[in-house]
Structure 1
Amino acid sequence: MTVFITRCWRSALRLALALTLGLSALSGPAHAGGIEPVRAQLSPSDDELVLSAEFALNLGPRLEEAVSRGVPLHFKLEFTLGHPRWYWIEEHLASRTIEYRLTYNVLMRQYRLSTGGLHQSFPSLSEALRVLSRVGALPVAPISALKPGESYAAALRLSLDRSQLPKPFQVDALADKDWQVGAKALRWQFVAPGTETK
């Protein structure tokens, strides 16, 4: 009698496991997001070199749900400018880092994008992400630091700062791909203009 019950339980467990695996395969995994640079441009403006850029930004369903439930997301925009040298390592000329914070206010039903002391509110997540994904006329270096006609190496990256997530979510971000947002860096060569713009 005991043998019969044990065999029934085993086959029932196998059936339940097969159904669970089958349903999870049908539903498919939630896709992790990604941040990819679409375009970037350096141009002179008065006595400064300014950066304009645009990113394709997709948080993925898990992070979109998290921010909509009140979990703050922090992003980091990193830019570096260097002068390649054939005889030594690249000469570092300028760098700029900007931190953004994206939150959702449940009472106001608005998304808020903050950087430094500046705050901007949006009625939808897509509008907040659209503003986050665009950089316009950001000063990155003085024109006087550049030699006209010389070639410089620029690098740009926008990424999710997982170290700023609340502690319980940091563990999930390490283990679960749905919490990871791939961020690609854009590297390009920039030739300093021959004449300064006044």
Structure 2
Amino acid sequence: MVACCLAWFPGAAKADPHGASVTQMRLEQADDGIYLTAQVQFELPTLVEEVLEKGIAIYFVAEAEVYRERWYWTDLKVAQAARHMRLAYQPLSRRWRLNVSPVPITNAGFGVSLNQNFDTLADALDGVRRVGRMRLGDLSEIGDAQDHPVTFRFRLDTSQLPRPFQFQIGGLGGQPDWNIAIEKSARLPLEKAK
């Protein structure tokens, strides 16, 4: 009976269809702050790849939050950081462009962002899968306690897709091909940066 109940509830005890996981995550302390480096692994679904090849950009978000544990209340969030990535195919140059920014990337402008060009989709996805030295905050913001929980999340951001795609994805039953989401938790103590 329990197995029937678990099978009935959506999302209960399901494996990730894209093989998504965090294969590497490191927290380190430098003189100017605390940094997170992570490597994620996922397979891009065929449907998403087809959308990309038609010139429609897709967006990924990597987020990290640092908490201070409190015995008398819920944990206090002491720092957070995000990295927004826009991946698009440029048909005229036949190259892939990856924009990386600490703020959401809009069509109105890219703001402060790093732009990289790649010859193949595989190379561009390698750039998306690597989250290098994301600054979480200053040591003074986080505090001197050495045991802080850190939560890292990586996801495909469907909220920035064109409206027809958002409607199709969010419709009845949703589209599991568009559901790439990974989460991993760790704790500070920190490695000292060299």
TM-score bracket for the superposition, by shorter chain length: 0.7 to 0.9
2:25 counterpart residue number: 40
2:52 counterpart residue number: 67
Aligned-residue identity in percent: 28
Query: Once the 2 structures are TM-superposed, how far is the Cα of residue 147 of structure 1 from its aligned partner?
Result: 4.3
The partner residue of 2:73 within 78, 81, 88 is 88
Report the structure number with the largest CA radius of gyration: 1
| Cα separation, 2, equivalents of 1:147 and 1:168 | 45
| Cα separation, 2, equivalents of 1:67 and 1:45 | 38
Residues 1:187 and 2:185 aligned together = yes
1:169 counterpart residue number: 165
1:11 counterpart residue number: none
Query: Once the 2 structures are TM-superposed, how far is the Cα of residue 148 of structure 1 from its aligned partner?
Result: 4.2
Provide the secondary structure at the position in 2 that maps to 1:86: coil
Q: More helix per residue: 1 or 2?
A: 1
| Cα separation, 1, equivalents of 2:117 and 2:28 | 29
Q: How does 1:20-35 map to 2 (within 5 A)?
A: 33=18, 35=20
1:32 and 1:180, CA in 2 relative to 1: closer, same or farther beyond 3 A?
Answer: farther
Q: How does 1:48-127 map to 2 (within 5 A)?
A: 48-116=33-101, 117-127=113-123
Q: Is the 8 A contact 1:84 1:91 kept in 2?
A: yes
Query: Once the 2 structures are TM-superposed, how far is the Cα of residue 192 of structure 1 from its aligned partner?
Result: 5.0
For structure 2, the residue ranges without an aligned partner over 5 or more in a row are: 1-15, 102-112
Q: Which amino acid is 1:69 matched to? A: K
Residues 1:142 and 2:138 aligned together = yes
Query: Once the 2 structures are TM-superposed, how far is the Cα of residue 40 of structure 1 from its aligned partner?
Result: 1.0
Which of 177-186 and 109-118 deviates more?
A: 177-186
Q: CA RMSD of the aligned region, Å? A: 2.2
